[in-house]
């Protein structure tokens, strides 16, 4: 067996405080684990993922299907009942948004995301994604962790485990949920699972205290706080000597020092006060419709700039409800997607543009993903063309942008009506393997022992999608 | 077996004895490719006859003639096995084997028979019978105190390491106390030890801890980690499980009773079958449904089946890992890659364990029923004369109530006022609610009425109201409800929610809501409506004294705890707003703490819902009569409280397995639900050869299948059962097991550091009737356990990880131990045991999904031991979760131990620690006042003693006094609570 290196370090002891400190630093700062590399230079240092909850209609956004338009109102044929969700199969429904070719690359994109479409030459669209499940929460868990149930470490946690921190004064993995609420599964979406809990995603909240217990409570004066701190440090020093310089004790002393640094670094990064008016407007912080997403996209850029490795921005809260607060357009795609896209199009485009003009896109990866797509047939009674679409796990689109990728490029194809991925299907495990590859990590080597198995993000699967790499 | 016999016969007939070496080499290096249905190159080496026949390139073996054996040639050239050629020694063995006739010691070769460099076979160490060895010989015969010390010392002596000296008494007592009960010892306990002149003072100290109820609370936490116990479903809806705690209580009670471990296991796997009808044993089966469960599955049968198979994988993993240390879940799609467990074995287990679904199930409990009956009997005796007084006053006052009127817990006449006419649940108004002559008028927007907190729990109940609807097409307004303070749990008398125009029993997430299918309400006149909720989950509606629609069975009742619940009118549940608000007027309303009969409700209707005002009693009764009546009322209240307490502590419902009729299980090729193979019957698995085989027929009911499995797991002949548990207990005491992967004794698991010790302890554990308390005692009484923790340079070099136990490995307190000890030392720990969990989460129900966010400052009623905290899944982390609390969606047989800045922040700035610092200040000042100690120094000394169990050093005291005199005692308490000394068991 190959127990986790850091666990060994944690249980090991060292006779000299100096030795202990050097090992400890490597743990807290988190130097990359040895032996997980691809042998090639990492193209990507940090990642921002915009996660659309509920299922974006690829047919109305990134996957142009003239064949669907010509078959509007025709019946959908399938030899066995498709694995959708509600099981209602109406007639085929054409796209609700017009498509046209964009930029120099001529990438086909609809009018749904006009601002993002303006940056088409930067995008790498995968039009042949396939999901394991057509059920929201398992599908979202798959997207995040490669497994369909609660309890498996998220992509960001694996990256934290593998690469550690670039900036020890900030968390490695930050999550920014939609202002309307967290997605179903809540913290299970950014759990560290069986990895040490320090790797789990940290949710930065709005307001004065973005992280729980970050600041000195108001009831305690600054003087009292520092006097207690001094006393504590003296107590700990004496205790350390008595213990024979126990490694773990050194660790906790150091954790207190780091905590003190977090108290200044987190509020600094979380405040948008230093941003120019031009930037605020670029993201759409000034508009009610876009404010929530704009603030989070801007915050994401600030975090990435300061060395946070993985920021996940959610678009969409819980699945249920009326009106919906996610992309789950069962009732009416036109209405639902208009509202949802209106919230994020401008902020996401701004983030991409801002990263680019600051040179960050050179070694940053932007991911724009959704748990599955939507059906080419309407979700309505047989023989009718309703306004909504059901879940489609057989084929859907996502896009990526940034380091190491062919830009202005579309990969893979679905069939004529956009129902199933036909050419180069890409399951999540492959995308995960590719993301790790870009980070310089071999997905088969980034493992952690848990209850009998060397667990991996990619389970026993995963092929690098060579076709999208530059 | 027949195969083995056959090959044995073959040997006899040839007169030669096959040696296992050659066969083993083939199994280890060749069979991965050259066996099975499609062997590579057409060469199947798994069967001798086929090997002799050979593959595409001709015969592989020429018995007796190594030179003509193609196999040996390829091996010698290094072409086979590809990538990893055999070493010279193995090649030599192979050659010898061919020379001797290339006889198979087993034919066909069972690939699981032998352990190879890649996988474990049935000869794997942990699958062999226990072989308890004699005590080893050691040099320093004066060191050991317990037999286990011989084994530890033996290894240390072999390595040339001297064990550490004994720890100081305070350290040792703190260690034992924290490890056995999860609480640091009190000053009084230490003093009692110091005053005990007996040579067995330490043993007495240990026994006091082992017999204290806190022992079960501490060790149940470890067990719940292993069995992935969580109190919400996970997945999309993540509904809370309000009735899973009876299992948690069972674990605590079983550990405290020192239930033999084999019984402990049997009850959890099949308590319902071993002891039908016994509520205690039923509770134990909560183990089987402790994991996640998806309630949102779409429409396709295949999707549902897939979710079902996922759930079975989780269950088989839990059973295998918990009781056998085997990761049996790995056999779902293929034979286990590392351990001798086939895919067929796996599906035998799905047949054995797949006969139930999770659900709420009644917990019949004769003891509880008889206690309740006793109370009811006395209640009748109390209520009879009370009724007579009522009659007497009514007659004198010219009123005509029936003597059969049941006594409510609370009653309001809103035409008169807001006072509770029966108890102390007075009403206050909020928003657009007004009191008029016609009663309580509610505007349907913001108006509502509410009581203070319930002072006794409410389980079985009746809500009754006299209501005039503002509009007949409103949807979902609550007339009267009982709800948790945050509104996340509620039962409500609702008008027109899912069924327009009908009366309904509203509930959180519709968990207890179904349609009565009653007639639509047609009138805006005053009507009496009532709903009864029975303990068994039955819910019935009434309108104007008559049953309303059809009664139905729900998943079971909820007990609304005292202190955390209230009654509301005009709102379905908090928060207010939306369609939850009622437009209309309520004239009178009553709450009963039992489900009234139809007859009683009819009588209530006839009496018009009027209560006799208290003033009339004073007017018409004599002084003596009034005194007697007051006494009866007090007793009635007391009895009602007792009944409520019993209902709350001993649930009548549990979240448990619910058996389905026997059904067939199928082998699934590659684990695919779309590709089922033959039907599989419940039967034994092939992994443990010493265990008897069994096979049950397809008609065997669910419980009997599980019972058979439990009977197979628990006998003394099964070496894994005792080994795994002995190692678990060892792991929790020392921080690492003898095998450092407590739920995995297979190929990928850790290697035993002291295999003889493991077998010795396992054997003794069996000898001592699987007594866990015996095991604890022998461990904590040992010399090994009592060693000091200070590191020694020489030993560090030889064994940096202390796997040989030359000292005590210091470790940080677990999250729960830390929280509980903080409460304990600050005198705030509420030590009441059992019952529904206390939640320090804010529960939000957002569009069909339940979300859990920790509250900033823990409410008073949650200051109980952590084991009683409500533990949902996927919650946002609370104050102590960062101290390595595992994600309870998966089994956590060992917790990681990390040190992070978030921990430092949480403990330094968090409200929980600060409140404890304030408590400590108060407690210390009080102590000094009572003992007439003046000045700062005694305060400092007392704080040090309470938290660190020692006096401050001279310099420390000086600095501490200075700190206290400038910034107060809380400043010192805060520092001490954060100190490494406090946070470490050393």
B401 has pLDDT over 70: no
Judging contacts by C-beta atoms under 8 Å, the chain B residues touching residue A187 are 874-877
Q: What percent of chain B has pLDDT over 90?
A: 60
Query: B728 and chain A: CB distance < 8 Å anywhere?
Result: no
Q: Which residue of A has its CA nearest to B971?
A: A228
d(CA B972, CA B949): 15
Q: Give the pLDDT of residue B400.
A: 60
Contact A30, A164 (CB under 8 A): yes
- Cβ A255–B743 below 8 Å, yes or no? no
Q: Which B positions 329-388 lie with beta carbon below 8 A of chain A?
A: 330, 338-339
**Nearest Cβ partner for A184 among B236, B300, B886:** B236
B20 has pLDDT over 50: yes
d(CA B384, CA B404): 9
The closest of B319, B237, B136 to B847, measured between CA atoms, is: B237
Encoding tokens for residue A179?
A: 């202002």
**What angle, rounded to 10 degrees, do the helices at A428-438 and A155-163 form?**
30
Encoding tokens for residue A423?
A: 């050419």
Judging contacts by C-beta atoms under 8 Å, the chain A residues touching residue B879 are 212-213
DSSP state of B666: E
Mean pLDDT of B225-239: 94
The number of C-beta contacts closer than 8 angstroms across A and B is 318
pLDDT level of residue B609 (50, 70, 90 thresholds): low
Mean pLDDT of A288-308: 96
Q: Report the gap between the CA of B320 and the closest CA in chain A (Å).
A: 11
Q: Which B positions 750-769 lie with beta carbon below 8 A of chain A?
A: 750
Phi, psi of B896 (to 5 degrees): -75, 160
Q: Choose the most confident range, by mean pLDDT, from B20-24, B718-722, B748-752.
A: B718-722
B235: left (phi over 0), alpha (psi -120 to 50) or beta: left
Q: Give the pLDDT of residue B611.
A: 67
Query: B978 and chain A: CB distance < 8 Å anywhere?
Result: yes
Q: Give the pLDDT of residue B396.
A: 82
Q: Give the pLDDT of residue B273.
A: 97
Mean pLDDT of B730-758: 96
A10 has pLDDT over 50: no
**Nearest Cβ partner for B889 among A149, A259, A325:** A149
Q: Give the pLDDT of residue A18.
A: 35
How do residues B68-107 score in pLDDT, each as one tens digit? 899 999 999 888 888 788 899 999 999 999 998 888 988 8
Q: How far is CA B452 from CA B562, B564, B580, in A?
A: 11, 10, 20
ipTM of the complex model: 0.82
Do strands B538-543 and B448-453 pair parallel, antiparallel, or not at all (unpaired)?
A: unpaired
Q: Report the gap between the CA of B983 and the closest CA in chain A (Å).
A: 10
DSSP state of A441: B
B843 has pLDDT over 60: yes
How do residues B192-220 score in pLDDT, each as one tens digit? 999 999 999 999 999 999 999 999 999 99
d(CA A376, CA A90): 9
d(CA B192, CA B190): 5
Q: Give the pLDDT of residue B377.
A: 84
pLDDT level of residue B436 (50, 70, 90 thresholds): confident
Q: Give the pLDDT of residue A6.
A: 37
**Nearest Cβ partner for A13 among B338, B802, B983:** B802
B387 has pLDDT over 80: no
- Cβ B980–A213 below 8 Å, yes or no? no
How do residues B115-167 score in pLDDT, each as one tens digit? 887 889 999 999 999 999 999 999 999 999 999 999 999 999 999 999 999 99
Q: B484 forms bridges with which residues in the sheet?
A: B565
* Residue ranges covered by each domain of chain A: 7-35+225-271, 37-204+277-468
The closest of A279, A224, A451 to B225, measured between CA atoms, is: A451
Q: Which B positions 798-827 lie with beta carbon below 8 A of chain A?
A: 800-802, 809-812
Q: Give the pLDDT of residue A1.
A: 34
Q: How far is CA B97 from CA B81, B111, B479, in A?
A: 18, 19, 88
Q: Is the omega angle on the peptide bond into residue A205 within 30 degrees of 0, that is, cis?
A: no
Q: Which residue of A has its CA nearest to B974?
A: A228
Which range among A424-433, B523-532, B644-653, B779-788 shows the weakest confidence by mean pLDDT? B644-653
Judging contacts by C-beta atoms under 8 Å, the chain B residues touching residue A320 are 847-849
How do residues A61-107 score in pLDDT, each as one tens digit? 999 999 999 999 999 988 888 888 888 899 999 999 999 999 999 99
SS3 content of chain B, % helix, strand, coil (to 5): 45, 15, 45
Q: Give the pLDDT of residue B1.
A: 35
Q: Report the gap between the CA of A106 and the closest CA in chain B (Å).
A: 39
d(CA B889, CA B324): 20
Superfamily of domain A37-204+277-468: Alkaline Phosphatase, subunit A (3.40.720.10)
Contact B521, B469 (CB under 8 A): yes
**What angle, rounded to 10 degrees, do the helices at B214-226 and B245-256 form?**
120
d(CA B276, CA B266): 13
**Nearest Cβ partner for A213 among B297, B887, B909:** B909
Mean pLDDT of B340-365: 93
Contact A312, A174 (CB under 8 A): yes
Element (H, E) at B605: helix B598-607
pLDDT level of residue B842 (50, 70, 90 thresholds): confident
pLDDT level of residue B457 (50, 70, 90 thresholds): confident
Q: Give the pLDDT of residue A12.
A: 32
- Cβ A1–B914 below 8 Å, yes or no? no
B231 has pLDDT over 70: yes
How do residues A177-202 score in pLDDT, each as one tens digit? 999 888 988 889 999 999 988 898 99
B803 has pLDDT over 80: yes
Mean pLDDT of B414-418: 87
Q: Which B positions 859-888 lie with beta carbon below 8 A of chain A?
A: 873-877, 879, 881-882, 884-887
How do residues A213-239 score in pLDDT, each as one tens digit? 999 999 999 999 999 999 999 999 999
How do residues B234-291 score in pLDDT, each as one tens digit? 998 898 998 999 999 999 999 999 999 999 999 999 999 999 988 889 999 999 999 9
- Cβ B874–A211 below 8 Å, yes or no? no
Q: How far is CA A122 from CA A428, B233, B292, in A?
A: 22, 42, 42
pLDDT level of residue B404 (50, 70, 90 thresholds): low
A334 has pLDDT over 70: yes
A3 has pLDDT over 60: no
**What angle, rounded to 10 degrees, do the helices at B911-930 and B815-825 form?**
30
How do residues B29-53 score in pLDDT, each as one tens digit? 888 788 877 788 899 998 998 988 8
Which residue did the predictor score with more confidence, A410 or B407?
A: A410
pLDDT level of residue A422 (50, 70, 90 thresholds): very high
Mean pLDDT of B857-861: 81
pLDDT level of residue B12 (50, 70, 90 thresholds): very low
Q: Is the omega angle on the peptide bond into residue B575 within 30 degrees of 0, that is, cis?
A: yes
Q: B838 forms bridges with which residues in the sheet?
A: B869
Mean pLDDT of B862-870: 95
Which range among B349-363, B635-649, B764-778 shows the weakest confidence by mean pLDDT? B635-649
Encoding tokens for residue A111?
A: 């009018």
Query: B858 and chain A: CB distance < 8 Å anywhere?
Result: no
Q: Give the pLDDT of residue B17.
A: 63
Q: Report the gap between the CA of A145 and the closest CA in chain B (Å).
A: 14
How do residues B300-342 score in pLDDT, each as one tens digit? 888 889 999 999 999 999 999 999 999 999 999 999 989 999 9
Q: Which residue of A has its CA nearest to B751?
A: A1
How do residues A107-159 score in pLDDT, each as one tens digit? 999 999 999 999 999 999 999 999 999 999 999 999 999 999 888 999 999 99
- Cβ B800–A12 below 8 Å, yes or no? yes
Instruction: Kindly report the pTM of this predicted structure.
Output: 0.81
d(CA B764, CA B951): 41
Element (H, E) at A399: strand A396-402
Which range among A1-15, B620-634, B697-711 shows the weakest confidence by mean pLDDT? A1-15
What is the average pLDDT value for chain B, to the nearest integer? Answer: 90
pLDDT level of residue A13 (50, 70, 90 thresholds): very low
How do residues A22-66 score in pLDDT, each as one tens digit? 333 334 445 688 889 998 889 999 999 999 999 999 999 999 999
């Amino acid at each position: 067996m190959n127990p986790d290196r850091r666990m060994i370090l944690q249980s090991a002891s060292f006779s000299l405080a100096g030795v202990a400190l050097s090992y400890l630093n490597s743990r807290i700062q988190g130097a990359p684990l040895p032996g997980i590399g691809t042998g090639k230079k990492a193209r990507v240092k940090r990642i921002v993922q915009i996660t659309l909850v509920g299922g974006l209609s690829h047919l109305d956004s990134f996957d142009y299907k003239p064949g669907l338009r010509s078959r509007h109102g025709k019946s959908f044929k399938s030899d066995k009942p498709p694995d959708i969700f509600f099981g209602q199969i109406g007639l085929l429904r054409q796209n609700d948004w017009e498509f046209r070719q964009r930029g120099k690359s001529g990438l086909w994109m609809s009018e749904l995301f006009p601002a993002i479409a303006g940056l088409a030459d930067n995008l790498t669209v995968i039009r042949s994604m396939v999901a394991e499940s057509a059920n929201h929460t398992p599908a979202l868990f798959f997207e995040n962790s490669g497994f369909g149930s609660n309890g498996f470490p998220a992509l960001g946690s694996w990256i934290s485990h593998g690469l550690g921190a670039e900036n020890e004064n900030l968390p490695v993995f930050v999550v920014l949920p939609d202002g309307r609420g967290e997605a179903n599964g809540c913290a299970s979406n950014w759990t560290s699972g069986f990895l040490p809990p320090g790797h789990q995603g940290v949710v930065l909240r709005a307001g004065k205290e973005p992280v729980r217990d970050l600041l000195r409570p108001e009831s305690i004066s600054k003087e009292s706080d520092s006097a207690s701190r001094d006393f504590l440090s003296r107590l700990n020093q004496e205790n350390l000597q008595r213990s024979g310089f126990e490694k773990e004790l050194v660790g906790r002393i150091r954790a207190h020092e780091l905590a003190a640094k977090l108290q200044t670094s987190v509020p600094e990064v979380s405040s948008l006060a230093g941003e120019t008016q031009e930037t605020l407007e670029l993201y759409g912080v000034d508009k009610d419709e876009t404010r929530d997403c704009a603030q989070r996209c801007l915050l994401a850029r600030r975090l990435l700039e300061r060395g946070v490795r993985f920021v996940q921005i959610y678009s969409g809260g819980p699945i249920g409800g009326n009106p919906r607060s996610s992309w789950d357009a069962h009732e009416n795609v036109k209405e639902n997607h208009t509202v949802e896209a209106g919230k994020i199009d401008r902020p996401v485009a701004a983030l991409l543009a801002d990263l680019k003009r600051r040179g960050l896109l050179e070694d940053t990866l932007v991911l724009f993903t959704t748990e599955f797509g939507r059906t080419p047939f309407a979700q309505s009674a047989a023989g009718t063309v309703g306004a909504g679409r059901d879940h489609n796990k057989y084929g859907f689109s996502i896009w990526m942008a940034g380091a190491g990728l062919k830009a202005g490029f579309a990969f893979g194809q679905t069939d004529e009506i956009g129902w199933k991925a036909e050419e180069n299907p890409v399951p999540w495990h492959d995308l995960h393997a590719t993301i790790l590859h870009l980070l310089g990590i071999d997905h088969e080597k980034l493992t952690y022992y848990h209850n009998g198995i060397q667990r991996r993000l990619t389970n026993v699967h995963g092929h690098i999608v060579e076709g999208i790499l530059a | 077996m027949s195969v083995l016999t056959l090959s044995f016969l073959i040997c006899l007939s040839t007169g030669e004895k096959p040696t296992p070496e050659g066969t083993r080499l083939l199994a280890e290096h060749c069979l991965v490719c050259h066996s099975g249905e499609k062997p590579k190159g057409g060469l199947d080496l798994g069967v001798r006859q086929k090997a002799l026949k050979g593959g595409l390139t001709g015969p592989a073996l020429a018995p007796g003639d190594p030179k003509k054996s193609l196999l040996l040639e390829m091996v010698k050239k290094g072409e086979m096995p590809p990538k990893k050629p055999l070493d010279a020694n193995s090649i030599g063995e192979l050659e010898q084997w061919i020379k001797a006739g290339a006889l198979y010691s087993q034919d066909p070769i069972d690939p699981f028979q032998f352990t190879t460099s890649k996988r474990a076979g049935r000869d794997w160490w942990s699958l062999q019978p226990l072989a308890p060895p004699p005590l080893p010989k050691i040099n320093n015969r004066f060191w050991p105190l317990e037999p286990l010390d011989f084994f530890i010392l033996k290894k240390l002596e072999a390595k040339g390491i001297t064990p550490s000296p004994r720890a100081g008494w305070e350290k040792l007592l703190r260690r034992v106390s924290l490890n056995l009960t999860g609480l640091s010892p009190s000053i009084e306990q230490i003093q009692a030890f110091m005053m005990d002149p007996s040579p067995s003072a330490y043993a007495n100290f240990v026994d006091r801890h082992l017999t204290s109820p806190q022992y079960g609370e501490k060790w149940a936490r470890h067990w719940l980690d292993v069995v992935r116990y969580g109190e919400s479903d996970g997945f999309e809806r993540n509904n809370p499980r309000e009735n899973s705690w009876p299992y948690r209580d069972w674990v605590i009670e079983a550990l405290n009773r020192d239930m033999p471990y084999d019984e402990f296991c049997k009850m959890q796997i099949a308590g319902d079958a071993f002891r039908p009808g016994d509520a205690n044993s039923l509770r134990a089966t909560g183990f089987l449904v402790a994991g996640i469960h998806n309630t949102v599955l779409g429409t396709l049968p295949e999707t549902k089946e897939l979710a079902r198979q996922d759930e079975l994988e989780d269950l088989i993993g839990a059973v295998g890992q918990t009781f056998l240390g085997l990761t049996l879940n790995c056999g779902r799609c293929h034979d286990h890659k590392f351990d001798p467990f086939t895919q067929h074995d796996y599906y035998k287990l799905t047949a054995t364990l797949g006969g139930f679904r999770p659900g709420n199930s009644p917990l019949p409990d004769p003891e509880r029923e008889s206690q309740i009956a006793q109370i009811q009997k006395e209640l009748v005796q109390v209520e009879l004369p009370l009724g007579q007084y009522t009659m007497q006053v009514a007659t004198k006052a010219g009123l005509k109530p029936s003597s059969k009127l049941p006594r409510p817990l609370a009653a309001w006449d809103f035409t008169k006022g807001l006072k509770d006419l029966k108890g102390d649940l007075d009403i206050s108004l909020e928003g657009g609610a007004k009191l008029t002559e016609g009663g309580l008028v509610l505007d349907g927007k913001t108006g509502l009425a509410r009581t203070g907190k319930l002072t006794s729990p409410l389980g079985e109940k009746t809500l009754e109201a006299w209501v005039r609807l503002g509009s007949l097409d409103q949807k979902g307004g609550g007339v009267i409800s009982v709800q948790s303070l945050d509104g996340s749990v509620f039962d409500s008398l609702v008008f027109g929610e899912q069924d327009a125009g009908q009366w309904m029993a509203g509930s959180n997430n519709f968990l207890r809501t179904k349609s009565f299918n009653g007639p639509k309400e047609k009138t805006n006149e005053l009507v009496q409506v009532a709903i009864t909720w029975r303990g068994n989950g039955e819910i019935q509606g009434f309108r104007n004294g008559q049953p309303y629609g059809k009664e139905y069975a729900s998943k079971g009742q909820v007990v609304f705890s005292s202190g955390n619940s209230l009654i509301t009118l005009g709102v379905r549940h908090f928060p207010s707003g939306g369609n939850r608000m009622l437009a209309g007027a309520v004239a009178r309303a009553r709450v009963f703490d039992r489900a009234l009969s139809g007859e009683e409700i009819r009588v209530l209707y006839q009496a018009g819902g009027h209560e006799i005002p208290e003033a009339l009693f004073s007017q018409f009764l004599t002084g003596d009569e009034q005194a007697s009546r007051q006494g009866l009322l007090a007793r009635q209240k007391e009895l009602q409280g007792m009944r409520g307490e019993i209902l709350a502590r001993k649930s009548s419902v549990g979240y448990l397995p619910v058996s389905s009729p026997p059904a067939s299980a199928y082998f699934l090729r590659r684990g695919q639900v779309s590709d089922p193979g033959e039907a599989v019957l419940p039967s034994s698995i092939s992994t443990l050869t010493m265990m008897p085989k069994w096979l049950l027929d397809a008609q065997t009911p669910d419980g009997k299948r599980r019972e058979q499995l439990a009977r197979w797991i628990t006998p003394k002949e099964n070496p894994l059962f005792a080994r795994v548990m002995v190692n678990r207990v060892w792991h929790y005491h020392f921080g690492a097991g003898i095998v450092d992967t407590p739920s995995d004794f297979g190929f990928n698991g850790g290697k035993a550091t002291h295999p003889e010790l493991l077998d010795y302890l396992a054997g003794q554990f069996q000898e001592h009737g699987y007594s866990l308390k015996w095991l604890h005692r022998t461990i904590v009484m040992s010399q090994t356990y009592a060693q000091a923790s200070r590191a020694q340079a020489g030993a560090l070099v030889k064994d940096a990880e202390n796997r040989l136990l030359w000292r005590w490995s210091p470790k940080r307190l677990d999250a729960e131990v830390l929280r509980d000890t903080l409460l304990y030392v600050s005198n705030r720990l509420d030590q009441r045991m059992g019952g529904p969990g206390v939640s320090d989460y804010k529960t939000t129900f957002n569009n069909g999904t339940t979300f859990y966010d920790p509250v900033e400052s823990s409410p008073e009623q949650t200051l109980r031991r952590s084991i009683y905290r409500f533990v949902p899944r996927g919650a946002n982390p609370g104050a102590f979760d960062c101290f390595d609390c595992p994600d309870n969606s998966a089994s956590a047989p060992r917790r990681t131990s990390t040190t992070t800045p978030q921990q430092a922040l949480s403990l330094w700035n968090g409200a929980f620690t600060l409140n404890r610092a304030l408590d400590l200040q108060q407690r210390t000042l009080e102590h000094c006042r009572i003992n007439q100690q003046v000045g700062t120094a005694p305060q400092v000394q007392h704080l040090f003693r309470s938290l660190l169990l020692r006096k401050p050093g001279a310099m420390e005291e000086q600095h501490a006094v200075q700190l206290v005199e400038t910034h107060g005692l809380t400043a010192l308490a805060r520092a001490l609570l954060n100190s490494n000394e406090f946070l470490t068991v050393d």
